Structure 1
Amino acid sequence: MERAVSPRPGGSSVLGKVQLILESFSHDEQHLSLSEIARRSGVAKASVHRLAQELLSWGVLERRGQNYGLGLRLFELGQRVPRQRILRDIARPYMEDLHQATRETIHLSIPDGLDVLYLEKVYGHGHVAWPSRVAGRMPLHGPATGKVFLAFGPPSLLGEVLGAPLTRITPHTVTTPTALLAEMAQARKLGYVVESEQARLGYVSVAVPLYGTTGPVMAALSVTAPLHRAAPVRYAALLHAVSPRFTRSIGATDFT
């Protein structure tokens, strides 16, 4: 699926052009021609060609025939981001335990602007395809993990989401402020979020917040299963058992 690149402030600067070039790649089309990069990014083809050569030399881009893709240097740099790495490393054993208990797909996510960003995923039977892939993102109001930050995070974040259009991901996605507010109230009452077919048709997700030792929500953890065999109450109980263990593990690190 082609992803449109939104205009960015400073897009006329060299760094702005590099950002637009890198953001022109998607999960579904990982290798693009220079002409396609120029079309998607809005950067002049001559500039794309010049910058691509520099990005190749840095390892930020790689070349396959006449096409270009994101290079391993970006992966290497991404592994150095301490917050994401620590969260992933701490949560991974608990995610594997949840997978063993449910045989379903487990997601770990954090907020990034008005999106939810997937940090880690443990696959279940017939694993969930796009968009729930590591480093993938979706609007906060769609998947269960995104809704966690709206229900249990700062009220200002919910207000910001309500102030923007609520895009429809599936025919079941909540797209009105009234309905979203009702969902958030129900989530706070239950202590967890249940989302059915709002992010992907045929799937149900149950998510809980993961807290740091000082209180704020740090991440969201979810179980995702096909609608015909999902057991939301059971998943919620298993997730709630993990949450305090995660907080204790975070407290034992030098996470900042």
Structure 2
Amino acid sequence: MTSEADRYRAPALDKGLDILELLAAQPHGLTRAEIVKAMGRSPSEIYRMLERLVAREYVLRSVEGDRYSLSLKLYVLGHRHPPVDRLVARAQPLMDAYAKAAEQSCHLSIYDRGNLTVIAQTPSPGNWGMSIPLGARVSLIDTGSGHAVLAFQTPQHRSEMLAAHVALDGEVPIERDELDAMLEEVRRSGLWLGESKQAWGVTDISIPVMDPYDEAMAVLTSPYVRRIDRHIGPDLQRACDLLKEAARGLGVNG
């Protein structure tokens, strides 16, 4: 039986996208012969597709006429509706639903210049709770958010992120061996769950939001605070399950 992914195939479109993805990984471009070889297709069908991509200005042909590379058109199109805005627009209703069901606040952060920046947040629905303001800088090293992001990166990307890290005010230093062990546990369990290193009585739940390459492109975090009065709200395990559901809905495969 035909799989769901193959049901509505458009071979010409697939071919064009294959060329774009191939050229995206080649900063100096490729010749037509190199593209033909890499894609395993006939020279005639590659020639026609390349000419259309050049005509629509998605691909540039060198002055000599023998090398093709990506133009900036895809970049320009993507920035007409900034990716962060799209991510926040998708995240906000999921975060609002989580806060209502879990009776806890939550925030969404992305990697930014060696640490994390909070780009969306939803307060707890009750009269009290803990929340992180928009734009706040969150440490890459001693927070659940940072650990969830670092754990799901390629080794090279993780090293680059750590090299760019600058300690924030109040940051608790962690030895690299200890950090590596923490990250391994996050990879095993799929989330960070532990006592906050910034505030007493808070249990941080941090779950990565995954991109198409199985790296964390963002992280959802809920600083869980357990009530001790007569009101009985969702417990920690229920909050974890609800935050996982929100992260799956926000991820690329959600």
- TM tier, shorter chain? 0.5 to 0.7
The partner residue of 1:128 within 118, 124, 130 is 130
Structure 1: unaligned runs, 5 residues or longer: 1-79, 251-256
- 1:196: how far off? 1.4
User: Structure 2: how far apart are the matches of 1:209 and 1:242?
Assistant: 10
Aligned residues: 169
The aligned residue for residue 109 of structure 1 is 109
User: What does residue 11 of structure 2 align with?
Assistant: none
Deviations 1:234-253 (A, max 9, x none): 33222222233223688xxx
> What's the secondary structure of 2:251's corresponding residue?
helix
| 1:169/1:242 CA distance change after superposition, 3 Å | same
Q: How far apart are the structure 1 equivalents of 2:236 and 2:160?
A: 29
Matches within 5 A, 1:12-31: none
Give the match for residue 188 of structure 1: 187
Query: Which residue identity is paired with 2:120?
Result: E
CA separation of 1:241 and 1:203: change in aligned 2, threshold 3 A: same
Equivalent positions of 1:146-225 (< 5 A) are 146-160=146-160, 167=167, 173=172, 175-225=174-224
Q: Secondary structure at the match of 1:188?
A: helix
Per the normalisation by structure 1, the TM-score is: 0.56
Shift of 1:167: 4.5
Contact 1:141–1:147 (8 Å) recurs in 2: yes
Contact 1:193–1:206 (Cα < 8 Å) also in 2: yes
User: Structure 1 residues 168 and 183 mapped into 2: Cα distance closer, same or farther (>3 Å)?
Assistant: farther
Q: Distance in 2 between matches of 1:225 and 1:146?
A: 17
Cα distance in 2 for residues equivalent to 1:184 and 1:249? 23
Q: C-alpha separation between the residues in 2 aligned to 1:196 and 1:169?
A: 19
CA contact (8 A) 1:166 1:176 kept: no
- Residue of structure 1 aligned with 2:246, choices 223, 242, 245: 242
The alpha-carbon distance between structure 1 residues 138 and 248, as it changes in their structure 2 partners (threshold 3 A), is closer
Amino acid in structure 2 at the alignment position of 1:90: R
Equivalent position amino acid for 1:205 in 2? D
Unaligned runs of 5+ in 2: 1-79, 229-233
1:165–1:201 Cα change, 3 Å = farther
Residue deviations 1:138-188, cap 9 Å, x none?
2211222221111112323433465578848669x4521122111111111
Displacement of 1:205 in angstroms is: 1.1
Work out whether residues 208 and 220 of structure 1, in 8 Å CA contact, stay in contact via their aligned partners in 2.
yes
SS at match of 2:220: strand
Distance (whole Å) between structure 2 residues aligned to residue 112 and residue 226 of structure 1: 27
Secondary structure in 1 matching 2:241: helix
The residue type paired with residue 234 of structure 1 is: R
Q: Report if the CA contact (8 A) 2:113-2:165 is conserved.
A: no
For 1:157 and 1:202, how far apart are their aligned partners in 2?
33
Summarize the alignment of residues 220-235 of structure 1 with structure 2, pairs less than 5 Å apart: 220-226=219-225, 231-235=235-239
- Map Cα deviations across residues 81-135 of structure 1 (whole Å, 9 max, x no partner): 7121111110011101110111111111100021110001111143435xx2101
Give aligned-pair identity as a percent: 20
- 2:42 maps to none
Distance 1:248 1:133, change over 3 A: same
Aligned residue identity for 2:249:
R
Give the SS at the match of 1:236.
Answer: helix
